[in-house]
Amino acid sequence: MLQAFFCDNAAADGGKLHIHGIFNELMAEGFPARQERLVLCGVIEWHDKAAGRQEFSVDLLDPGDQSVYTVEGHTDVHAVISGRPPPRTHLVLPLENVVFPVAGRYRTRFRLAEGEIFGPDLYLSDARELDPT
């Protein structure tokens, strides 16, 4: 299971994920547009048999499903102890200097050993089209 968000900032601390400034849309004054920093954060809940090192990658896909940004990493998943909740990984993935070639819907694709999962969408809008003046 995956729960993920785009936000201004996030931190994992003491088993908690602190998220600040969740959003799903960015405005630009033309394209291509560059965003200096945004954070993709969330929680992956693992299945019982996922114990050990888990490699993953996350792609930000443009409206034509081409990757414009990729993050690769790994996490260590601990074995489930009877009676305890499933293991979880808190993700805090800063994305730096992201270039958005066109306006539209950008999807996130998580590639895990278990397969692909799609996460949150991010919409890029042209501010000039929304301002009639």
Asked whether the predicted pLDDT for residue 132 surpasses 70, the reply is: no
Strands (E), 8-87: 9-13, 16-20, 25-28, 33-45, 52-61, 67-77
Q: What is the pLDDT of residue 105?
A: 98
Asked whether the predicted pLDDT for residue 70 surpasses 90, the reply is: yes
Q: What is the pLDDT of residue 14?
A: 84
Show the domain range for 42. Answer: 2-130
What is the domain count for the chain?
A: 1
Q: What is the pLDDT of residue 133?
A: 57
Who contacts 106 (Cβ-Cβ below 8 Å, separation ≥6)?
Answer: 60, 61, 62, 63, 68, 100, 121, 122, 123, 124
Asked whether the predicted pLDDT for residue 103 surpasses 80, the reply is: yes
SS3 call for 24? coil
Domain CATH for 75 = 2.60.40.1930
Asked whether the predicted pLDDT for residue 128 surpasses 90, the reply is: no
Encode pLDDT of 20-38 as tens digits: 999 999 999 999 999 999 9
Q: What is the pLDDT of residue 131?
A: 63
Work out the mean pLDDT of the chain and round it to a whole number.
92
Question: Pick from 8, 91, 99: which is nearest to 45 by CA?
Answer: 91
As a whole number of angstroms, the distance between CA 80 and CA 61 comes to 33
Mean pLDDT of 88-113: 96
Question: Pick from 111, 97, 110, 106: which is nearest to 125 by CA?
Answer: 106
Q: How much of the chain, in percent, has pLDDT values that exceed 70?
A: 98
